[in-house]
A and B are shown apart, each in its own frame.
Chain A
């Protein structure tokens, strides 16, 4: 559970670091808390993390101003941040369910080529065991751009 909470807090920090506007005062958790006095601020943060950062932020529908980040990036960063542990393992092996899904957030249909690329560049995309999800996402994105096959086939780059 602690890992989940840490992951959620990490997600919140991602959203506040990347969002040009503040997440305060919008999102399901805030609305629920404001109107219903249901949840404490910590729970509200978690509710916001699940509601506004997945559906609302990713899709831009949280009843508040649109976030300034690109939707696809938010989706990929959220995925990387939430799945760092399993991604680190699947990327070392060069395939697996998490690598396939990670490929799809970049629009890479060729998950085999994507898996080979992240495995071959493992230490570049994951330079340390404290690499954040945002760094991982950006590193992988940069490597896709450097890869002739992937840069021409991954549709969301």
Chain B
């Protein structure tokens, strides 16, 4: 816990101060800002992206006053002066301030604060806005991407729906993303991403580039929430997007000034009194943004699910008979493609399979795969069109289980009763985030885990002692089903300070780290069986040499018995490579059950048997009963 607090302090230390307390009051004369009513002040602060007493915008072109970042009154007065100056230039493209700060202009105009202004035409803005041709707005959530730690929580973007459109692909999308100046690797990337080392920019691009990037390139689902907005609200949002687009970047902080946090601040401008960009905790998740909009009655008009390329392939293959599936496998790996092949379903299967393989291998199809792909497409073009109702992207929302608005909250508090052999204990646990293998998977990818900063305390009644129990720094697992079309291994990484159960040592601790990988068998979303192997390392003053390293093997069987009940059977064997194999060979067998009473509450029962090889009399038997709620 001390380390966690240290990290939080470090985080707060490295982050720019969010408050201007202690700064001298720059404005020497009363500002017009002082005369605004609270609603008007609030709107002006939203336009300037103020959080507490300072703006989060970091581009100097965003402020027309030298003190604008921390003095909204000075910024308001300077804005009016800039609007009055016919020769003033601002923004990255040196347009007149009236043309750059369109929503400020509209707002101040409505307040009657803009009088005797020079008449300025803004052809660039008019053309840009006309080109967007927007009539409504859709909030888009991209599901998590376990292969990239920075995408584990998902992502959000906005789509501006064009008038009279045929499909969504040609709409414009708006996203906020970090733009690294150079390719940083590993820890440098993580550190800079966490602590403002990258600049974040607004990115406006066609929606099809996002569909390509997320749906196809990274095989992530896109869940689309059409919002109800009045024409005036939409207009004000677009005006504000322009002023951000023309003037500023935001320093990127992974925890609370990330892709979703900045985007929701921009989107929040037209939503008066709905507080859509409030933060519930010190970090901001993309799902929090979706949940907030879903919680406002009438704001979400409709929802759509755009399945990933992998899900599209799975659906195509599921529709095939066993014979056709065999045909697909045979055709996609055959050197001789039959002439005049007529089986449409099998051809569609080959095309879907090779298309997915192309993306999975990052465009490294072999020459013969390319040849088969090409021949399949040509042959397919000579056969009847597919039936429109069988569209691969048509998906029933109710059949999906990774909708972010259905997910449990990320933080959790638990209380538990435990027995360890003859010792009786009570304890409490606090989890900063986010989701573990035994939690309710509704709203998350099935059988996934990303836990960080989870700590617990226990009171041992037998010893009459309160003790620190465990602190999980990170516990990440991706059970990736191993399929013929997607032969990827699952993996797990865990770094934890935990109890030692295989020595005769009361309330002793070890620092432990492991990284395993291996295949997972998963016939459906309700069952996963994984076998993983990899190195581990442990350090403790209670160990003979102070440490042990070796190889661990973990087998696990996870079952979602019904929507409210989840079962897990896990066995882990560790071999200490620094000692004789037969002497130091540890085994932990665990059986776990979770019962979900509501989305955010659950009961858990866990039993475990920790054995030391050839010394089963020293087994530790552990039983735990736990109640937890997410918040």
Contact = CB atoms under 8 A, between A and B. Distances in A.
A63 B93 contact: yes
Given A38-B249, A39-B181, A122 B378 contact: yes
B386 A96 contact: yes
B20 interface: no
A89 B377 contact: yes
Contacts of A91: 381
A122 B377 contact: yes
Contact of A95 (B128, B170, B370, B385): B385
Interface in B166-222: 166-170, 172, 179-182, 199, 201, 203-206, 208-209, 212-213, 216-218
A38 B212 contact: no
Contacts of B245: 28
A47 B92 CA distance: 14
Contacts of A60: 127
Interface of A: 1-4, 6-7, 28, 31-32, 35-36, 38-40, 43, 47, 50-51, 54-55, 58-61, 63, 78-79, 82-83, 85-86, 88-89, 91-98, 100-101, 103-105, 109, 111, 115-116, 119-120, 122-123, 126, 128-129
Interface of B: 59, 61, 92-94, 124, 127-128, 130-132, 165-170, 172, 179-182, 199, 201, 203-206, 208-209, 212-213, 216-218, 245, 249, 348, 351, 355, 358-359, 362-363, 370, 373-374, 376-378, 380-382, 384-386, 388, 391, 393
Contacts of B348: 93
Contacts of A61: 124, 127-128, 131
A78 B205 CA distance: 11
Contact of A105 (B128, B170, B393): B170
6 contacts: A28-B245, A54-B206, A85-B216, A93-B348, A93-B386, A126-B377
Contacts of B393: 97
Nearest to B370: A129
B208 A101 contact: yes
Contacts of B209: 4, 50, 54, 82
Given A119-B381, A129-B370, A97 B206 contact: no
Contact of B358 (A39, A85, A100): A85
B379 to A, nearest CB: 8
A76 B320 CA distance: 35
A135 B451 CA distance: 50
Contacts of A3: 212, 217, 359, 362-363
A119 B385 contact: yes
A38 B209 CA distance: 23
Nearest to B246: A28
